[in-house]
Amino acid sequence: MTTITISRQMGSLGSDVAFLVAERLGYRLVWRELINLAARRAGAPEMALAAIDELDLLGLTPSPQAQRAYIEEVNRIVNELAEQGNVVILGRAGQVILHGRPETLHVRIFAPQALRVKRIAEKLGVTIDKAAAQVEASDRYRARYLRRFYHVRWDDPALYHLVLNTAHLTSAQAADIICRAAANLSHLTMLPKPNSQD
């Protein structure tokens, strides 16, 4: 009963890779529905909007109590999903929550910033400057989320079994590497404890 967590940067093709991995393995892919479920369980519906507002367009500031309740539910749901197994969890700090858990593969997908900006500009039909602003805002948000709630650096290689650069790999090639690693999960060693950023 394998679990795969995938952390990705905006424009890194990480979402595409996650979809391909889930499809090839016949696993469930969990992504944004985790956000909505955690917000509902926490009784803090505003957290669902705040959690997907990486660019801070809405200017939402949920209360500290709502944030704590939401994070507790995210942790609970991610562990429940891992118990069920055969799941790909995209984002939501799965690599931290499930760190050290057997039968779990942690993957980070990244690419150079200039390439990510170019991809986002082409995908959204916006200027390079606007795409760069979105990528930078997303990077800040994701780094802050991991640092604030889990006290780790999101790019700490100690959090991952695999770190894949999609400047040199297609989505299909990256998915193939992940599927092969998942098939050989029993041969992977336990990851060391990540460095705390307290």
- 197 in a structural domain: no
- 196 in a structural domain: no
DSSP bridge pairs for 3? 87, 104
- 194 in a structural domain: no
Q: How far is CA 51 from CA 25, 91, 98, 120, 155, in A?
A: 28, 11, 20, 20, 19
What residues make up the domain containing 108?
3-187
Confidence of residue 132 (pLDDT cuts 50, 70, 90): very high
- 64 in a structural domain: yes
* Model confidence at 179: pLDDT above 80: yes
Separation between Cα atoms, residue 106 and residue 78, nearest integer Å: 13
- 192 in a structural domain: no
Which amino acid makes up residue 63? Answer: S
Q: How far is CA 155 from CA 3, 121, 139, in A?
A: 20, 24, 10
DSSP bridge pairs for 174? none
Considering its fold, how many domains does the chain have in total? 1
User: What's the pTM?
Assistant: 0.88
pLDDT single digits (tens) 47-86 = 887 777 666 666 677 788 888 998 999 999 999 999 999 9
In CATH, what number is assigned to the domain containing residue 168? 3.40.50.300
- 77 in a structural domain: yes
* Model confidence at 198: pLDDT above 50: no
Separation between Cα atoms, residue 192 and residue 156, nearest integer Å: 11
CB atoms within 10 A of CB 13: 24
Which amino acid makes up residue 182? Answer: A
Q: Which of 109, 111, 133 is nearest to 121 (CA)?
A: 133
- 193 in a structural domain: no
Write down the residue that tokens 């990077």 correspond to.
139
